[in-house]
Amino acid sequence: MGGCVGSHHDSSGSLNENSDGTGVALGRNQPLKRERPKWKSDYPMTEGQLRSKRDEFWDTAPAFEGRKEIWDALRAAASAFESNDHLLAQAILDGASITLPHGALTECYDELGNRYQLPVYCLSPPVNMIEERSEELDGSDPDSGAADPSTCSGSDTAGGECQLRLRLSTGRDLRLAVRSTDTVGMMKRRLQSHEGVPASTQRWFFSGRPLTDRLRLDQLNISRDYVVQVILSQPPPPEPESTPGLTPEATGSVAVEMVLEPMRVEN
C-alpha cells in the first residue's frame, strides 16, 4: 500500500536530506511519463475487485499521513493518467505543486517535502484481469453464479437470499444474510439483530455515496466483489427519567403545598 514519509526539497525541485541525515538524492522534478506500469496480480482479478482495492486505499491512506488536498490531487491525476489524459494529469500535478523525481506517480513529493507513494494498482489494471460474470444468467448452468448465495445483484430471484459483505468502521468485516428485496432500513435492522448495533447509529455507504433507508438492495447491483461501508456513531445519551405528568417545577410546588398546609386541631 502507498504511504507518505517526510523529506525536504528546495525551490528548484531537487531533493535534499531528511532531518535524520539520511539522503534522498532523487534528482529534479520530471514531467509525468506516458508509460503505464505493467503488473500482475497474485490472483486473477475482476474489475470489481480492482475497484474495491482502490477504494480501500484511497479511503485509508489519507487518514494516516500526508495532506488531504495532495491526496485528492493525486487521486484526480491518477484517474486522468489511466484515461490517457496526460495533459490533464500534468496540469493537476503542477497546480498542486507536486514533484515527480522519476516522472512517475509511484513516488512524488509535495511542496513541504512530504513523500507520497501510489501503488501500481491505482494507476493501471493488472495484466491478468478477468471479466466479470454476466448478470443475466438464467440459472440453467449448475456452475453459473445465478444460484451463488454470495452474489447480491438486481438479477437475483425476487426475494432471494444472498450474502452481503459489510465493513464496519470498527475494522471488522462480516457477511450479512439479506434478501434482494430488502431496503437499506431493513438491512440495518438485520445487522442490529445479529450484532446488537442500533440501526439509528448506522450509516451505510457504497462507492462513496450514502445509502438512504428506502433504497432496495436490487436497485444497487452489488456483486460479491464489492464491500458496503458501515459507519457506526455513538448513540445519544438517554434523557433523565421524570415522573409522568409532573415537571420538576410541578413536583416542587406540590412539596411546598404539603409543607405549608395548616394542621387542623380538633377540640
pLDDT in tens, 158-169: 557 888 889 888
Q: Can you give the length of the chain in residues?
A: 267
pLDDT class of 18 with cuts at 50, 70, 90: very low
- Report the pLDDT averaged over residues 114-140: 76
- For residue range 193-207, list pLDDT tens digits in order: 988 889 999 989 887
Residue 107 domain flag: yes
Q: 105, exposed or middle or buried, with CB in 10 Å at 0-12, 13-18, 19+?
A: buried
Q: 114, exposed or middle or buried, with CB in 10 Å at 0-12, 13-18, 19+?
A: middle
Write down which residue in 113, 130, 147 finishes a domain: 130
Q: Which residue has the higher pLDDT, 209 or 94?
A: 94
CA-to-CA distance for 106 and 122, rounded, in angstroms?
Answer: 9
- Report the pLDDT averaged over residues 175-201: 90
pLDDT class of 67 with cuts at 50, 70, 90: very high
Residue 212 domain flag: yes
pLDDT, position 129: 87
pLDDT class of 242 with cuts at 50, 70, 90: low
Number of folded domains that form the chain: 2
CA-to-CA distance for 37 and 46, rounded, in angstroms?
Answer: 18
Residue 18 is placed in which grid cell?
Answer: 531528511
Q: Identify whether the C-beta of residue 142 lies closer than 8 Å to the C-beta of residue 134.
A: no
CATH assignment of the domain containing 100 = 1.20.225.20
Residue 66 domain flag: yes
pLDDT class of 240 with cuts at 50, 70, 90: low
pLDDT class of 137 with cuts at 50, 70, 90: very low
CA-to-CA distance for 48 and 151, rounded, in angstroms?
Answer: 12
Amino acid (1-letter code) at residue 60: T
CATH assignment of the domain containing 180 = 3.10.20.90
pLDDT class of 119 with cuts at 50, 70, 90: very high
Whether residues 124 and 55 share a domain: the answer is: yes
- Report the pLDDT averaged over residues 83-104: 93
Q: Identify whether the C-beta of residue 99 lies closer than 8 Å to the C-beta of residue 13.
A: yes
pTM tops 0.85, yes or no: no
Q: Which residue has the higher pLDDT, 95 or 151?
A: 95
Residue 266 domain flag: no
Whether residues 49 and 126 share a domain: the answer is: yes
CA-to-CA distance for 166 and 172, rounded, in angstroms?
Answer: 8
pLDDT, position 206: 82
Q: Identify whether the C-beta of residue 175 lies closer than 8 Å to the C-beta of residue 166.
A: yes
Residue 237 domain flag: no
Whether residues 125 and 49 share a domain: the answer is: yes
pLDDT, position 158: 52
Ranges of beta strands (E only) in the chain are 4-6, 45-46, 108-109, 114-116, 129-130, 161-168, 173-179, 202-206, 209-210, 228-232
Range of the domain at 120: 45-130
Whether residues 59 and 117 share a domain: the answer is: yes
Q: How many other CB atoms are found less than 10 A from the CB of residue 242?
A: 10
Write down which residue in 89, 108, 130 finishes a domain: 130
Q: Which of 169, 172, 175 is nearest to 234 (CA)?
A: 169
CA-to-CA distance for 26 and 90, rounded, in angstroms?
Answer: 19
Residue 146 is placed in which grid cell?
Answer: 445465478
CA-to-CA distance for 116 and 119, rounded, in angstroms?
Answer: 10
